[in-house]
Structure 1
Amino acid sequence: MKLGHKLTLALLCVLALVLGLCTLWTQDRQWERALQDARSAALADWQREADALQQGLLPDDQYSNYNEELYSRAWRHLMQPGAPRAALAVYGQDGTLLASSMPVTLAQDELARAVPGDADLQLLTAVAADGTRYFLCSGLVLLPEECVTLVSAQSLDGLFADRALRLRDAALTQVAALAVAALLTLLFCRRMVRPLEQLEAASRRIAAGAYDRRTALPGSDEIAGLSRSFDAMAAAVQEKVNDLQRHLQARDAFVAAFTHELKTPMTSMLGYADLLRGAEVPAATRRKAADFIYHESKRLEALSGRLMELMQLEHETPPALEPVRLDAVFRQLERALPVGAPMPVFADCRTVVLAQRELLCDLLYNLLQNARRATPAGGTVAVEVQEEADRVTLTVRDTGCGIPAGDLPHVTEPFYMVDKSRARDQGGSGMGLALCARIAELHGTRLELESRPGAGTRVHLTLQKAKEDGHETA
């Protein structure tokens, strides 16, 4: 069952319960008032009939014995034209029935129960043999020589018939009201759940792959808030999916580049090895083949080492940074760099920065080696330092061949090389700048490259300056 139908059914149940209770309470109040009016009417009729009976039972000249002719006078009064207006019964002082116009279906014991034992006026309810209900009103009527009891009977059939009619009308009205309420409630609930249907449709589309789907429901209620949260979740899911797609593309590109880097030298190495193990070859050819195999083997060894280092850094959490003196790092680099031209020029700086010393040395070592490979013997490679209030910017500058603008965004990708043939000749693998970029990320910063073909390259790296109490021995 849909939510709109559930809401409609729940509201109708509550409405039916409330209407039913209100109808029962209203009908009960009306019934009590009708009974009270019927009681008042019965007492008024009894009083009127009692007055008329008292006048009709007074003695006259036709009868010499009042007691002997009381029955005849009572019967004459009840049977006179136009009287009585209600069913009546007259009892003597000793309980003898003098006259009666009561229905034959009303049992005598019911009438006898209505005869009072004292002078108080009483009102009882009796049921005839045919099921007719009556109000029995009885009381004493005072005469000159004795008292008689007058019992009047008022039928309640009309009252119960009116009650049944009112109950039927109330039930029909309630059913009609519930039918109209059901239609209006259904339309109202459908309008209310329409935003939820839009959310549900959007969730199905997102599950089917349409991650750009949004609801953007207006308003300030809870459903609008849910819509905004849903759109934020969808945006987060889309971003995660895009990240996964970028990672998959990068992985595919990485695997393709790595396969290419392995396939070319391996093919040549297999060719030279097959040549060496085949027929006798001249010494010069054998030496050339062995040199090629050795050179490519060393390059592949270096490539595998770089790859393992990059994979390790990819899964490494940011290290705990500690105070590191830059002049100590520069001296370590001077000792580690191989001899050759051009040799880098280091700035004279004793500033202390927050870094992981070995990773920082590795980063600068790779940047300097790349700069030296790109710079001719007469060029310049330098490490410059620019201090600010709370940070230090390191710049590795060279006057080499430079990098084309179209290649700058890709130079930090694994295996990417601007001039592949020259890089391989110099032992490059295209992994150095990728390692540098990852080490910079672990230090909470990033590499910024500026280059122009023929004018050299600048690589900037910004580090946090250590506090004044932070120090490291040289």
Structure 2
Amino acid sequence: MKFAHKLTLAIVLPLCVALSVGGTWSIHQNFLEALDTAVRTNSSAQMRQRYALENELADVQGDSANEIYTRLCTYEQEQRTLGEEGLLFTVMGENGAVLYSTMPLDIPYREQQQAVTTGEDRVFYVDTGATKYQLLTTPLRGLSRTMWLVNVYDVTAQFAERDRQVRQHLTLEGAALVLAGAAAALMARLLTRPLHQLELASRALSSGEQSARADIHSGDELEQLGLTFNHMADNLTSQMQALEKESARQKRFVAAFTHELKTPMTAILGYADLLRKGEQAADKRHRAAGYIYQEAIRLETLGQELLQLFGLEQGGITRETVQLSMVWGDVIRSLPDLAGRLTVEGQDPTLRANRPLLGTLLRNLVLNAAAADTQGGNIRLWCDQRDGVLCLGVTDTGPGIPAEELEKLREPFYRLDKSRSRKNGGNGLGLTICEYIAQAHGTTLRMESEVGKGTTVWIPWEEAEPCV
């Protein structure tokens, strides 16, 4: 059962119970009050009739049933003369014998006898189907023999009024329930519409529609629930997109790593197989051994770079106070072949850094710049303020990098050279290692480039003391 239906029933059922119980109680109380009123009125009439019969029969001597019958006939005729046409009564003796009766034939004798047996102050009701009667009994006192007066009064009107009130109440209750049910159903629909929107958005989101959101403007807790759902969906979408990017990056990493591993292994196997086949000329053996050695060195370098990369992912580097000029010096001394192309400009602050790792970062940036600028252009190492933040970086005058390729350069093994030619060297891990070193220092690589005008790679640095 839908929540809207449950909500409708929750509103209508209590109302139905309240109207039914309240209406039944009210009608019953009115009915009892009407019967009590009839009892009081009829009891008064019976008392008047009892006094009249006691006077009529007071001088009857002995146990003469004929004389009693004659006196009661005379009494009835006098009452008819006075307009009492509907006078219904029975006079019984002490043994239950009927001495006189004007009772309708549809009132059983046993009902009358039972009323006498029970005694006075008791009210009996007889239902003959079409008519409802009220029986009242009282003894006739001061006579020579014991006699009982049983009066019957028509109370069909009271029962009919009760039935009319029941029908009226059922009609009004039915109308009220129909109106209340319609109003409750409409209200439930309005109240559950936000939940329906949430359900639709949840289904769409679960089926892969990442743009699915709930548009709820109810101004209550459901609107807050919708905002929370949308916030959750935004986070979930961001995480899914991040996972998709990470999955794609890992696939590219595996493919690139496989290629990087396969190329030197193929060369090693090929030249080793050549040497294995038999005697070769000395120069050919020397050349094959040289190729095997070079490819083995490349594999060793690749392994070392991967170990360094995985180690940086774990974080936890140690830092010390170091002068930036000392790091520049380490970089220049480690690249004697490029010393003539390197220039250092700008400030010389004191940094909190891991000196060997920072040197590796800057050295890799210089190697990338040198590999990109095959014309032997100048490579500038600089440190300056950008937007109020100290930055240090490397700028080359090479061919530049297209904008769509900049972010991909951070990925392991990614190359602008799609053919993966190694004439410029490298495994495509240098910039990735730089990124991890920067992250280990609490910063990140920034890159800007323009095709035909060169590339600049820098890192903003927060932990710096005044320049010297």
Q: Deviations over 1:164-202 (max 9, x none)?
A: 453355446545654665566455545543443343233
Q: What does 1:110-129 correspond to in 2, within 5 Å?
A: 110-111=115-116, 124-127=122-125
SS in 2 for 1:340: helix
Matching residue of 1:39: 39
Q: Which ranges in structure 1 are unaligned for 5 or more consecutive residues?
A: 60-64, 116-122, 143-147, 469-474
Identity %: 33
- The answer as to whether partners of 2:398 and 2:454 remain within 8 angstroms in 1 is yes
In the alignment, what sits opposite 1:449? Answer: 447
Amino acid at match of 2:192: V
Q: Distance in 1 between matches of 2:127 and 2:391?
A: 115
Q: Is the 8 A contact 2:349 2:465 kept in 1?
A: no
Cα shift readout 1:31-86 (whole Å, capped 9, x = no counterpart): 233123323432453466578x39x9589xxxxx9565995655522333233644
Q: 1:17, 1:416 → 2: CA distance?
A: 75
Aligned to 2:17: 17
The aligned residue for residue 107 of structure 1 is: 112
**1:59-208 equivalences in 2 (<5 Å):** 75-80=73-78, 81=80, 82-83=83-84, 85-88=86-89, 101=102, 104-108=109-113, 110-111=115-116, 124-127=122-125, 134=134, 136=136, 152-171=151-170, 174-175=173-174, 177-178=176-177, 181-182=180-181, 185-186=184-185, 188-190=187-189, 192-208=191-207
5+ long unaligned stretches in structure 2: none
What is aligned with 2:458?
460
Which amino acid is the alignment partner of residue 19 of structure 1? Answer: L
Who is 1:238 aligned against?
237
Equivalent residue, structure 1, for 2:216: 217
**8 Å CA contact retained: 1:321, 1:354:** no
| TM-score calculated relative to the size of structure 2 | 0.76
Looking at structure 1, the residues matched to 350 and 387 of structure 2 have their Cα atoms a distance apart, in angstroms, of 13
Structure 2 CA distance for aligned equivalents of residues 161 and 422 of structure 1: 105
Relative to structure 1, the CA distance from residue 375 to residue 177 in structure 2 (aligned partners, 3 Å threshold; closer, same or farther) is closer
The equivalent residue for 1:28 is 28
Question: 1: CA distance between counterparts of 2:451 and 2:23?
Answer: 94
- Secondary structure at the aligned position of 2:330 is classed as helix
1:6: which partner in 2?
A: 6
Cα offset, 1:239, TM superposition: 1.9
Where is the helix percentage greater, Structure 1 or Structure 2?
A: 2
2: CA distance, partners of 1:75 / 1:321: 132
TM-score, normalization: structure 1?
0.75
Number of aligned positions between the proteins: 448
Deviations 1:419-469 (A, max 9, x none): 57897335311111111122223333221223445654322211113589x
Question: How many Å separate the matches in 2 of 1:158 and 1:405?
Answer: 99
| Contact 2:383–2:391 (CA under 8 A) maintained in structure 1 | yes
Instruction: Please point out which of 337, 341, 354 is paired with 1:340.
Output: 337
Cα pair distance change 1:179/1:375, threshold 3 Å: closer
Partner of 1:145: none
Question: Do the aligned partners of 2:394 and 2:457 also contact (CA within 8 Å) in 1?
Answer: yes
Residues 128, 411 of structure 1: alpha-carbon distance in 2 compared, 3 angstrom cutoff: closer
What do the CA deviations read for 1:12-48 (whole angstroms, capped 9, x no partner)? 4323212221222221231233123323432453466
Say if 1:325 and 1:350, in contact at 8 Å, map to a contact too.
Answer: no
SS in 2 for 1:163: helix
Q: Deviations over 1:336-391 (max 9, x none)?
A: 61433326455686634444444333322322333454567975444322258984
Deviations 1:145-180 (A, max 9, x none): xxx997754344443344345335544654565466
The letter of the residue matching 1:271 is G
1:330 pairs, out of 327, 332, 338, with 327
The residue identity in structure 2 corresponding to 1:160 is F
Asked if the contact 2:56–2:75 (Cα under 8 Å) also holds between the matched residues in 1, the reply is no
The alpha carbon displacement at 1:243 in A equals 1.4
Amino acid corresponding to residue 15 of structure 2 in structure 1? L
In the alignment, is residue 439 of structure 1 matched against residue 437 of structure 2? Answer: yes
Does the 8 Å CA contact 2:324/2:351 hold for their aligned counterparts?
Answer: no
Question: Does the 8 A contact of 1:107 with 1:128 survive in 2?
Answer: no
Q: Is the 8 A contact 1:105 1:129 kept in 2?
A: no
Letter of the structure 2 residue corresponding to residue 431 of structure 1: L
